Structure 1
Amino acid sequence: MRLRGLGVIRDAVLELGPGLTVVTGETGAGKTMVVTGLGLLMGGRADAGAVREGEQGAFVEGQILLDPAGPAAARALEAGAVLDDGDVLIMSRTVSAEGRSRAHLGGRSVPVGVLGELADELVTVHGQNEQIRLRSTARQREALDRFAGDAVAVPLAAYRSAWARLRAVETEIDEITRLSRERAQEAELLRLGLAEIERVDPQPSEDVELRAEAQRLAHAEELRTAATTAHLALAGDPDASSDAADVTALLSEARRALEAVRHHDEDLAGLADRVGELAYLAADIAADCAAYTSAVESDPIRLAAIEERRAVLKSLTRAYGEDIDGVLAWAKTSGARLGELDSDDDRIEGLRLERESLRTTLGRLGGEISHARQVAGARLADLVSAELTELSMPDARLVVEVRQRDDLNGLPVVEPVPRAKGAKAVAAAKAAASAAAAAGTDGPRLLAAGPDGVDEVELLLAPHAGASPRPLGKGASGGELSRVMLGLEVVLGAVDPVPTFVFDEVDAGVGGKAAIGIGRRLARLAATSQVLVVTHLAQVAAFADRHLLVVKSKDGEVTESGVRLLDDEGRVRELARMLGGIEESDSAQAHAEELLTSAKADRALG
C-alpha cells in the first residue's frame, strides 16, 4: 500500500503480507495514518484535514489479492475493473486539499461507493471509535447465523423461500380483491367481444380470400375480354374467314423453316428447338386463356353477398385486430383471460388456503430457527466471555439476546421461545393472550416476523460484575470495546473468516498480562486471515509475523524510507524502545528477546 501527502506522511510504501503485521513507531510518527489511508481506500469519508499541509492532495493506492471466483472479484469486474494476472486488483483514492475525492478500481474511474461495497467483502476495521463489522443488529444476526452453521442455515433457506412465496400470495390476493370491480368490468367486455366474434364465426384468412373473389366478380367482363383477346392473338379464331396471322401459326412457320436446314448447322438446330418450345408454350397459354374465359362469370348476387360479409368482418378487424387472423388470435388470448377472471372466487379461496399453509410452515420453521439461534447464542456468549477473561476482563460477560415481539397479525410459532421482556412486550403478550382466550384456544404464540425469521438479535456487554448488559459501544470504554471486538472476531473467525482485519490501538489502556493475551489472540486470528495492527505495546508486537516501523525524518516528515520492515535485530531494538524507551539498554534488549522467544513458543503451541 502506498501513501502520499497524508498527514505527516509525505510518501511511504507499506509492504503488507499474510499473517500478523504490526505497525509501531513513536508518538506522532504517523502510525494511525496507515489506518486512515486504508479507510480511504475502502471508501471511507474523505476529510480535507487529513491532507498534508502544503500538498495539493492526498493519494492512497493498494494492491489486493482476490479470489477470482469470489463476490469481491465479481463486483470489481462488474464495475469495469481489470484484474492484473487474473487475481490482483489495484485500488486508488485521491483527496484534494478542498475535500474533493476520486476513486479508481482496476484502472477504471468508479464512484467511491463501489470501494465501500468491496470493503464489506474484504476488510474489517476496528478502531478506537468505530467498530465497523458489527455496527448494526442486522449484521450481528448475520454473524450469529453464520456461527450457528447448518442448524440455522438449512431451516433459514427453507423459511426464506416460503416467506417469498407468502409475500407473492398475499400480493395476488390483494390485487384480486382490490381490483375486483375493474376485473369484473374487464370480464364483461371480453364476453361481449367473444360473443360478437362467435356470432360472425370468421374463418382463418377469410378476409383475404373474399377480397380476391370480390375483385374477380367486380371486373368479370374486363377479365373475360382480356382473356379472349389474348386467346385470339395466340391461337386465332378457327370460325373466322380472315387470314390474319396468329402467334401459333407464325411460330409453326418459323419452326418449319429452321427444321428444313437444321442438319447443316448445330447453332441453327438449337434455335429450331427453342422455337419449338415457344410454340408449345404459346399453345398451352392459349388453352388456359380459353378455359379462363369459360370460367369467368358475372354474378351480381354473389358479389353483393361477399361485400356484405366483408363489411361484417371489417367491423371485427376495427375492434379486435388488424386482420381476421389477428381477430382469432385475440379471441384465443381473451378466452384464456376470461377463464382466469371468471375463476377469481375459486382462485382467492385457493390462495387463502395456501396462505394459511405457508403461515403454518413459516411458524414451524421460525420456531426451529429461533431455537437454533438461542443455542448458538449461548455458545457464542460463553466462548467470547472466556476470551474476555484472557484479555484481562475477567468479570465481563457477553450476552447474545435473541428476542421476539408478539403481534396479533404475526406468524403462529409452534416452537417454544422465551418471552421477550419489557413493558411493550408484556402488553403485547397480554393482548395476544386475551385474543387467544376470546377465541377459546391457547394456540401458538403469534410473533412479528420478517424475511429472516421471528427474532431480533443483539449483542450486549456487561463490562463488570453487577452491571446490566448494554448494547455494544454503550457499556464499555474504547479500549474495552476493542478487546470485546477482538474476542468476537477470534471466535467468529473460525466459522466466518474475513480476508483482512485492521486493529487500531486495540491495546489502548492495557498492559502486562492483558497485552500478552491480546497478542496471542491476534496471532490466532492471523492463522486464518490477514491481520494489520497499529500498536504501542511490545507484548503485542512480539507476536507479529512482520513488523513495520514508522520513523519520521529530522524535518518531521515520513518518506518512503521512513517505513521499514524490521529484521530480527531491528525487532529487538524496537521492542526494547517500546518497553523502556532506551533501545540500546542491555536489560531492555534482553527483555525484548525474551518476549520474542516467548511469543514464538506460544505460537508454536497454537
Structure 2
Amino acid sequence: MLRELSIRNLAVIEEVTVGFHDGFHVLTGETGAGKSILIDALILLIGGRGSSDMVRYGCDKAEMEATFDLPAGHPVWRAIERLGLQGSSEDLLIIRRELSAQGKSSCRINGSIANLTMLREVGECLVNVHGQHEHQSLLKSEHHLEWLDLFAGEKVAGLKREYQAAFSRYGEVRQALKNAQDTSRHNMQMLDLYKFQLQEIRSAGLKKDEWDQLQEEKEKLSHSEKLMTHASAAYGLLFDGGSLEGISSAIAKLEDIKAYDSAVLEPLLEQLKGAFYQAEDAAHQLRGYRDSVQSDPERLDVIEDRLTVIGGLRRKYGDTVADILAYYKKIKHEADLIENRDEHIRQLEASLQSAHAEASALGESLSQQRLAAAELLSASVELQLKDLGMSRTVFRASLQRQPQGDGYRLGLNGIDEADFLLAPNPGEPLKPLSKIASGGEMSRIMLALKSIFAEIDQVPVLIFDEVDTGVSGRAAQAIAEKMSQLSGKCQVFSITHLPQVACMADYHYEISKDVVRDRTVTSVKELSDRERIEELARMLGGVEVTDKTRHHAQEMLVLADRQKGA
C-alpha cells in the first residue's frame, strides 16, 4: 500500500507530506486547487515523463518521494531483484525522484540509483492510474487481447510463450527462404568474390599458430651472428678466462685448512663447491647452445616471404590466422548456399512448412483456451455491470481469425484478434465499444474490468482521476459502491466532484489553494468527521453552505456507513 507521499516545489505545491491508509480515499476541492498534481507526482514516481515546466516557478528542482508497504511475496520484489536493485528488510519500498528546472531527472529506488526504464518496470507493479483519457485504451481493440490473456492466467501465458517461440522460428525460416530465393546479380557477384577469396586463402595453406612460430624463428635467424658471438664469449669467460680454475684453486686451499676451523670453513667450502658445479654445468650448456646456433640466410628469406603472404591475408580477412580461417569457413558456407541454391530452397521450403504447421497447431490450442476465457470474462463483466446499474447490458469478449490459405493468418500473439462488444439496451445488436459506449458507460465498464483484474494483476494502488465525470444519480452511486467494494482488495483513490462518491470513502482529503506572500500555495488536509460534513455540504450546495445542506451531507454519510456495513 501507499503509506506516504511527499512533494516539494511541483507546480503550485510548495511542500506537502501526506499519509494514507488501507481502503477507499477520495480527494476533493475546488477546480484548479491542484488535485491532479498529486496524481501527476505519483505518475512521475512510477516513470512518467517530466518536464521543466512542472517545477515550481523560481525553484531549482521539484522533489517527490513515495513510501510503499508491500508483503514479501509481491511481484515488485521480483522485479527489483531482476533489476539488481536494493531490497528492504522491512517490506518497505521508497521511491524518490527529482526533476530539475533544466529538465534533467534523477531517480532512486530504496536508495539505489535507477533510470526511467527501471522506474517504469517497478511502477507497473505498484500503481494503476485511470482517468477520462485512460478510457481511450478501452476503445482500441489491439489492447483487448492483452486484457483477455491477463484474465486467462498462466495456462494461456505458458501456451502463448510456446507459440511465440514457434512463431519466431517460423519467421526466421521464412526470412532465410526469402534470402535464398533472391536471384539478383548481387548474389552472382558475391559468388565470384567468394570463389576468389576462397582460392586465395586455400592456396596459402595456413596453419593456426604459424604466424607466431615464424616470427619467433625469424627473430632467431636475424640475430644468429650475435647469438653465436656472445655465447662463445660467455663460454670463454667461464673456461678460458679462468673463472672455473680460480674457483677450483680456492676449493683446494680451503681443503688444506678446514681441519683447523671447521665450524666456519666447512660451510664456505660447500658453497664454493656448489658454485663450481653450477658454473661448470652452465659452461657445458653454453657450449652446446653455441654449437647449435646456425646462420641460414636462405631460410630467413623463405620465412620473410611467408610472413609477407600471411600479412597480406591478415590485412584483408582478419587480425589473426584464426580469424582468417574462420572467415574462410563462413564464406565457404555462403558460396555453397549460392551454388546449391535450388537444393537449399527445397530444404527451406520443407522447414517452413514444418515450422508453419507447428506454429498453427500451437495457435489453435491457444485460441481454444482464449475462447473459454472469453466466455468467463464476458460473464464476469456482465455481473460487475449489473452492480453498476447496467443490469440489461450485454458484454462480449469476441475473438476473430483472419483466414489465410488452408488455415489462419499467424501473428505475434497467435491467430486471434479480440474486440470487446457491447449492447447497452435489450434488442440492440452487439457493437464495438468505440461505436456505442457513452462516457458514463465507459467509466463503469473500466471500473467493472478493474474490479475483475484487481486480484489478478496484484497492483496494490488504483487511482481513478475523475472517471465519474458525466455520471450522476443512480449511476454515480453505483460507481461509488463499486469503488468501496474494490478497496477491500486494494488501495483505491478517487479524485471526484460528486458527493455520492465522496461520502462512500473511508478517508476524505481536501485539496485547497491559498495565496501566501503573493504566491499560490496548495495544501492537502485529511478531514475529520465534522470537516467532512462541511466539505460534502459545499459539494452539494456550491458557494453557500446552509444548515439544510449540512443535514443532507450528514445523512449521506450515515447512509454510506450503513451501505458499507451491509
TM-score, reference length from structure 2: 0.74
Partner of 2:129: 125
1:89 match: 94
Q: For residues 48-80 of structure 1, give each alpha carbon's deviation from its aligned partner in whole angstroms, at most 9, with x where no partner exists.
A: 99899x986995734141658745885799698
Whole-Å Cα distance in 2 between the matches of residues 297 and 47 of structure 1? 77
Distance change >3 Å, CA 383–CA 180, structure 1 → 2: same
Equivalent-residue separation in structure 2 for 1:57 and 1:227 (angstroms):
78
Which one of the candidate residues 455, 461, 476 is aligned to 2:437?
A: 476
C-alpha separation between the residues in 2 aligned to 1:539 and 1:391? 14
Structure 1 residues 465 and 79, CA, compared in 2 at 3 Å: closer, same or farther?
farther
Aligned to 2:407: 445
Offset at 1:396? 3.8
Matches within 5 A, 1:246-395: 253-266=249-262, 267-268=264-265, 270-272=267-269, 303=296, 306-307=299-300, 309-310=302-303, 313-320=306-313, 329=322, 333=326, 336-337=329-330, 340-341=333-334, 344=337, 345=340, 349-395=346-392
Q: Secondary structure at the match of 2:508?
A: strand
Q: Is residue 198–residue 332 contact of structure 2 (8 Å, CA) maintained in 1?
A: no
Gaps of 5+ in 2: none
**Aligned equivalents of 1:22 and 1:291: distance in 2?**
98
Taking structure 1 as reference, are residues 195 and 8 closer, same or farther at Cα in structure 2, changes over 3 Å only? closer
Aligned letter for 2:381?
V
SS in 2 for 1:454: coil
AA of the residue aligned to 2:356 = R
Whether contact under 8 Å (2:18, 2:524) holds in the other structure is: no
**Residue 65 of structure 1: SS of its match in structure 2?**
strand
- Overall identity of the aligned pairs, in %: 26
Partner of 1:414: none
Match of 1:440 in 2: none
Cα displacement string for residues 124-153 of structure 1 (whole angstroms, at most 9, x for unaligned residues): 223234437647444332111111224422
Q: How does 1:399-410 map to 2 (within 5 A)?
A: 399-407=396-404
Residue in structure 2 matched with residue 488 of structure 1 by the alignment: 449
Q: Give the Cα–Cα distance (whole angstroms) in 2 for the partners of residues 319 and 554 of structure 1.
A: 80
2:469 corresponds to 1:518 = no
Taking the aligned partners of 1:284 and 1:562, their CA distance within structure 2 comes to: 95
1:93–1:467: structure 2 CA closer, same or farther, 3 Å change rule? farther
Q: CA deviation at 1:7?
A: 7.8
Map of 1:148 onto structure 2: 152
> Measured at CA, do residues 60 and 405 of structure 1 come closer, stay the same or move farther in structure 2, by a change above 3 Å?
farther
| Partner residue, 1:588 | 552
How far apart in 1 are the matches of 2:408 and 2:50? Answer: 47
**1:498 alignment partner, SS class:** coil
Structure 1 contact 230–286 (Cα < 8 Å) conserved: no
Helix, strand or coil for the counterpart of 2:467?
coil
Deviation at 1:598, TM superposition (A): 2.4
In structure 2, what is the equivalent of residue 162 of structure 1? 166
Kindly provide the amino acid, as one letter, of the partner of residue 318 in structure 1: G
State the distance in 1 between where 2:99 and 2:285 align.
88
Q: Which amino acid aligns with 2:495?
A: V
Aligned counterpart, 2:64: 61
Structure 1 CA distance for aligned equivalents of residues 254 and 220 of structure 2: 45
Pick closer, same or farther for the CA change 1:276–1:576 going to 2, 3 Å.
Answer: closer
Deviation at 1:277, TM superposition (A): 5.3
Q: Which runs of 5+ in 1 are unaligned?
A: 235-245, 408-431, 433-443
**What letter matches 2:565 in structure 1?**
A
Q: Secondary structure at the match of 1:495?
A: helix
How far apart, CA to CA, are the structure 1 residues paired with 2:98 and 2:136? 20
CA contact (8 A) 1:102 1:111 kept: no
| CA distance 1:277–1:138, change in 2 (3 Å) | same
Residue of structure 2 in register with 1:418 after alignment: none
Q: Is residue 10–residue 557 contact of structure 1 (8 Å, CA) maintained in 2?
A: no
Q: 1:129 to 1:95 in 2, by over 3 A?
A: farther
Q: Let me know the Cα RMSD of the aligned residues.
A: 5.1
Q: Residues of 1 paired with 2:53 and 2:239: CA distance?
A: 106
1:79–1:110 contact (8 Å) kept in structure 2: no
Distance 1:570 1:226 in 2: 108
Aligned: 1:233 with 2:240? yes
- Per the alignment, in what secondary structure is the counterpart of residue 88 of structure 1? strand
3-state SS of the aligned residue for 2:197? Answer: helix
Could you tell me how far 1:482 is from its partner in structure 2?
Answer: 1.3
Q: TM-score, normalised by structure 1?
A: 0.70
Contact persistence 2:201–2:328 (CA under 8 A): no
Write the deviation string for residues 453-491 of structure 1: whole angstroms up to 9, x where unpaired.
Answer: 233323344444566655545533333321221112112
- Flag the structure with larger Rg: 1
* Cα distance in 2, alignment partners of residues 190 and 329 from structure 1: 15
